[in-house]
Amino acid sequence: MTEATEPDKTQVYLVPVAHLELADEPEYVHLSLYSWNERTDAWLTQTGICGRSTTQGALPEGTEVTCPGCLKWRPAYDQTVAGHNHRRELESEARRQQAMAEDTTENGAWHTVWLESKWRWITSRMTTPQREYAADCVAAYSRYLATCDGELERDEPEGLRWWRADQ
């Protein structure tokens, strides 16, 4: 991670963190895992990889890590983090490829129907299996568009399957 690049929310990083502001706390710079937390919608650090509690928040990149415990564990954590990040990259790539495969003429056509016409009226003239199928096409094309926009987590369009809500 560098200043110039936004951290990737699917990845985990090892970052320098400050010791707790306590009188008996050794004045070390520790290393901590740094990851995106969905619940708090923020990047969070954890305890040092040596096991000591630390002050929340990453220190500037390049800050020298001085805790002997953290330095000892660093190679093992580097490996674990790299393995984790590699798996997440493969997952992202698989999702992206799947989404790209959803760029079909049929999905695009149904997406235009959804976007430009009276979806509720048109689908009310269909059987439920038929409109579920049409909605699947719209959702698939919508996933493709979201992937193009770099928003992998976007939900399917609201009201797409209005008939489910009425049940």
Phi and psi based region of residue 51 (left: phi greater than 0; alpha: psi -120 to 50; beta: remaining) = left
CB of residue 54 vs Zn ion: minimum separation in angstroms? 7
With CB under 5 A as the contact rule, the residue among 48, 73, 131, 141 that binds Zn ion is: 48
Tokens of 11: 């990845």
Closest CA to 47 of 60, 34, 62: 34
Size of the site for Zn ion (CB under 5 A): 6
Backbone angles phi, psi at 30, to 5 degrees: -100, 175
With CB under 5 A as the contact rule, the residue among 67, 135, 137, 140 that binds Zn ion is: 67
Note the helical H segments in the chain.
68-101, 105-116, 119-124, 128-148, 162-165
CB of residue 56 vs Zn ion: minimum separation in angstroms? 15
d(CA 101, CA 131): 21
Is residue 16 part of the contact set for Zn ion (CB under 5 A)? no
With CB under 5 A as the contact rule, the residue among 69, 126, 146, 163 that binds Zn ion is: 69
33 and 70 Cβ atoms separated by less than 8 Å: no
The residue (of 33 and 48) whose beta carbon lies closer to Zn ion is: 48
Stretch that binds Zn ion, among 37-45, 59-67, 97-105, 152-160 (CB under 5 A): 59-67
59 and 18 Cβ atoms separated by less than 8 Å: yes
Stretch that binds Zn ion, among 36-44, 56-64, 69-77, 144-152 (CB under 5 A): 69-77
The residue (of 73 and 114) whose beta carbon lies closer to Zn ion is: 73
Position of tokens 């199928």? 133
The residue (of 49 and 160) whose beta carbon lies closer to Zn ion is: 49
Site residues for Zn ion per CB under 5 A: 30, 48, 50, 67, 69-70
